[in-house]
Amino acid sequence: MTATTPTAEVVYPWSDPNNPTTYTVTLSIDNGCGVDVKQKDYTPDPLGIDAIAEGSFGLYPNPANDNVNFVLAGAASAQGTVQVMDIAGRVLASQIVAAGQINGEINLTELASGSYLVKISVDGNSSVNTLIKQ
């Protein structure tokens, strides 16, 4: 794609987080005396795993439709649990986080649209994130 305006924005689709796609971005500047060309390879990280605090986790996509993925800040050294709760704290769905697991998927098809809490408990620590189901 070529953009000719200085404020052009190009939106690339997210790639599979397990198999990221690298894009080459090229900037060509023609000032009338010559053309300067700069290139940079960029691999987008849709989740920003480096930004997840130790003992926490990330959810994507959020808002979600039928499934949401979770990514732990580090591999679980022991078995844990993932719980989806309503705002009142009632557990609506639960699944196991295996020792060594870093990511997983939560099925949301049985839940109505709305706001939920997702609690992951691993290695004696618990963390809660909010989730919007569309």
Together in a domain, 71 and 125: yes
The answer to whether residues 74 and 121 belong to one domain is: yes
Kindly state whether residues 32 and 70 are assigned to the same domain: no
Q: Pick 56 or 47 by higher pLDDT.
A: 56
φ, ψ for residue 23 (rounded to 5)?
Answer: -110, 145
Q: How far apart are CA 29 and CA 123, in angstroms?
A: 53
User: What's residue 28's pLDDT?
Assistant: 82
* Res 49 pLDDT > 70: no
User: Does one domain contain both 5 and 71?
Assistant: no
Torsion of CA 24, 29, 35, 38, to 10 degrees: -30
Q: Total domain count for the chain?
A: 2
pLDDT at 41 over 90: no
Q: Same domain for 82 and 19?
A: no
For residue 54, the model assigns a pLDDT of 62
Co-location of 82 and 35 in the same domain: no
Tell me which residue range forms the domain holding 88: 49-133
- Hey, which residues does 115 pair with through a beta bridge? 132
Residue 131: strand pairing partners: 116
- How much is the pTM? 0.61
Close Cβ partners of 99 (under 8 Å, ≥ 6 residues apart): 76, 77, 78, 79
